[in-house]
Amino acid sequence: MTVHLSAIVLSLMLGAIAFPQDQEGLKKTSHSPVSTSPAPVTRLESSVSFDRIGRLFNSVLHLSIPANGKIQSPNSPVTRSEVIEEFARYYRLAEPTFKLTPKTVEFDVNRIKVDQPSVKKDLMMLIKRGCVASYGMLSTGTVKTVSVGDFGDAIGMFIARIAEMTHTSSTKWTPYLHGN
């Protein structure tokens, strides 16, 4: 009898907790879907984004990031090569603050779709360090420009990797350093 009574009490308690959540007491919010423009990112838009990354590096890493100068043709689309060059510039400026060297990312060099040798060298360095996706739009894309969504993904990945490399790892807070 005790087992049945405790099971009944437990089910009543769980029901009392769960049941009101389905009633009118909770507000149901609907979010409008986020839509991005299919138009490519302009040089002005990318410059603003990179300036914000520079301010972020300044406040968090205490680095002084020099501005890239006057933007030529601000309304023209930014190219993949220009984005890669900026990522490489920011990587090199942040490199003295790195506290962690992650494993090298393996990738197929033949899949890289960048024409300029200097940009290809920078891209390969960024991919090896995990700052750019090895099979992403910047590395294997066939279009010369960058869409808003791809640009946002690339910046997010870059900043996440830089953040990972510039913090001091701790076995308490870094899951992959935990023992078995």
**Which pLDDT score is estimated for 1?**
45
**Which pLDDT score is estimated for 39?**
84
In a domain, 7, yes or no: no
**Which pLDDT score is estimated for 82?**
93
In a domain, 20, yes or no: no
**Which pLDDT score is estimated for 40?**
92
The count of structural domains within the chain is 1
In a domain, 133, yes or no: yes
Length of the chain: 180
Say what the pTM is: 0.74
pLDDT per residue rounded down to tens, the chain (180 residues): 444 545 554 455 445 444 444 555 556 677 777 676 778 999 999 999 999 999 988 988 888 877 776 677 888 999 999 999 999 999 999 999 988 888 888 988 888 888 889 999 999 999 999 999 999 899 998 899 999 989 999 999 999 999 888 887 777 766 666 665
In a domain, 132, yes or no: yes
Please give the residue range of the domain that contains residue 88: 43-171
